[in-house]
Amino acid sequence: MDLHEFQAKELLARFGVEIPRARVVETSADAVRAAERLGGRRFVVKAQIRAGDRARHGGVRFADGARAAGQEARGMLGRRIVTPQTPEGGELVKWAYVEEAVEAAQMLYAAVLLDRVSGRPLALASAHGGEGIQDRAERDPGIIQSIPLMLRGGAAEGDFAGLAGGIGLAGAALAAMVQLLRQLATAFVKLDAALIEVNPLALTAAATLVALDAKLSIDDNALFRHADLRALRDFTVRDESDPVELEAQRHQINYIRMGGDIGVMVNGAGLALATLDMVCDAGGKPANFMDIRTTATSLDIARGFGLILDNPAVRSILVNIHGGGMQPCDTVAEGIGIAVRQRAAAQAAGKARCVPIAISMAGNHAEFARTVLANTGVPYFAARTPWEAVRQAVGCAESEGSSWLSSLVARRA
């Protein structure tokens, strides 16, 4: 779950990170009043979209005085900003962030993220923060230094002093960076974050560090531990998030759209990735990634299967399930049966497509799951191995065969 800048800053401030004084506004008149309350002569007005590279595309503007802050807010509120990181068509600006301008002696960079190769958190820092750091790092990877972090007693520890010194800081500036890195590492663990990035990080003449911008991404799988953070998700900005993916999240399913025509339902992220590889090896193209969480009920699974059926690009569906203690095969079978029955009437009336289904099930309650599928009238290709199911799904997608569901329609008619 990616947060807006103002949400990320407010959370980091709870861990001691210094942020500029600012207010979130929805209208230009609110922007004027916010600037007046903040005081000062110079402000930064920022479009609140969850995408980087805002400054180069009109999403970050400086204003001299409260009236100018209102004018800048008027120029971005209710409009779409397009950057290389936004969906096609850009993102709609619902809020602007009016912030006091901070004089910086130097722009730095700091982050804590999960390294997916090693499976460990890393702390990163650079003496070259600000706009375009990713492009500069690609040309010169050495400008960003990193250290691994160790988790001990609910905290993340590492050689923060070595990292700060490695980017050329000394004295009070080094001490300030060590403290900030420790604060980010603590927030990373306590918030179950996947990424915390502060860029730019202003080093002032007084050797204090101020977070001028912040990105914070929370691990979706940990949101059950953070009801307060879950409430921050902005479901109203539909163009900023895939509504289908959000719907899947609500039903305990990890779902990502892809560009193929074979719908995929799997339990377990590792098995799901391996299944996608098999589909590609067999010459097919997956339409989605789907991982059923162990907390999903049969009704959740039915909704997830329905999302696959709702995709007009899907020509066949591949189900690869390995039942465990917390997610037996029969629960998945019940969910599939519910989804298929819900669409039987629509299929009989010609209002819904009939999509071939290939299923491979093994593990806990696998035999009973086959009985459940039979009792609920789900016609499918029963595969003895995952590879056989993959080949059947790919073959059906290539032939676009759909008459195989006519028996179900006839039985329901």
Q: To the nearest 5 percent, what fractions of the chain are helix, strand and coil?
A: 40, 25, 35
Q: How many C-beta atoms surround the C-beta of residue 226 within 10 A? A: 16
Judging by DSSP bridges, how do beta strands 316-323 and 357-363 pair with one another?
parallel
What CA dihedral angle connects 57, 63, 66 and 72, to 10 degrees? Answer: -20
Q: How many C-beta atoms surround the C-beta of residue 284 within 10 A? A: 25
Residue 286 DSSP symbol: B
**Does the CA dihedral 392-398-320-282 come out positive or negative?**
positive
Q: State yes or no: is 255 an active-site residue.
A: no
> Is the link from the previous residue into 200 a cis peptide, with omega within 30 of 0?
yes
**Residue 4, SS3 per DSSP:** coil
Residues 250/58, Cβ–Cβ less than 8 Å: no
Residues 321/267, Cβ–Cβ less than 8 Å: yes
CA distances for 222 relative to 3, 146, 205, 225, 296, angstroms: 15, 25, 39, 6, 15
State which amino acid sits at residue 234. Answer: D
Q: State yes or no: is 380 an active-site residue.
A: no
Residues 146/122, Cβ–Cβ less than 8 Å: yes
Give the separation between CA 223 and CA 230, rounded to whole angstroms.
6
Judging by DSSP bridges, how do beta strands 42-47 and 22-25 pair with one another?
unpaired
Give the separation between CA 413 and CA 344, rounded to whole angstroms.
9
Give the separation between CA 100 and CA 42, rounded to whole angstroms.
7
Catalytic residue, chosen from 5, 72, 99, 197, is 197
Catalytic residue, chosen from 18, 72, 97, 109, is 109
For helices 171-190 and 5-13, give the axis angle rounded to 10 degrees: 110
State which amino acid sits at residue 244. Answer: V
Residues 364/328, Cβ–Cβ less than 8 Å: yes
Residues 404/354, Cβ–Cβ less than 8 Å: yes
Token representation of residue 353: 């497509």
| Residues annotated catalytic, as ranges | 109, 197
